[in-house]
Amino acid sequence: MRNKLVIGLSAFALTLFTAAATFAADGKTVTVSGEGKCGKCALKETKECQNVIEAKEDGKTVKYYIAKNDVSDKFHKNVCQSSKKVTAKGTVKEVDGKKELTVTEIKTVE
């Protein structure tokens, strides 16, 4: 019984965490966790290599396309040839119907 309670509370906390990232207004710093992939090599969705984070939110997969900057460029080698679990902090805005995350920090999660 206690294990079910812990699992239930953990799932609830994760849902709140991802919902906060989803509903954050433009300009506010958010944290996004998920599977880091290359938009060109792994997903075949972009013309050039680009970091993408696939996060689970409300049972659906949401893709965050990482805007090009020094932080994302230095990190790209980590996900270009293989996907990894990542956590990123930055600001989200919608561009052409897609979520664009401008990262200030991104790292792999062990």
| Domain 2-108 is found in CATH 2.40.50.140 | yes
Each domain of the chain, given as residue ranges in start order, spans 2-108
Q: How confident is the model at residue 1 (pLDDT cuts 50, 70, 90)?
A: low
Q: Whole-model pTM?
A: 0.74
What per-residue confidence (pLDDT) applies to 99? 94
Distance CA 10, CA 104 (A): 27
- Is the pLDDT reported for residue 6 higher than 70? no
Q: How confident is the model at residue 24 (pLDDT cuts 50, 70, 90)?
A: very low
Q: How confident is the model at residue 11 (pLDDT cuts 50, 70, 90)?
A: low
Dihedral sign for Cα atoms in the order 19, 24, 30, 34: positive
Q: How confident is the model at residue 49 (pLDDT cuts 50, 70, 90)?
A: very high
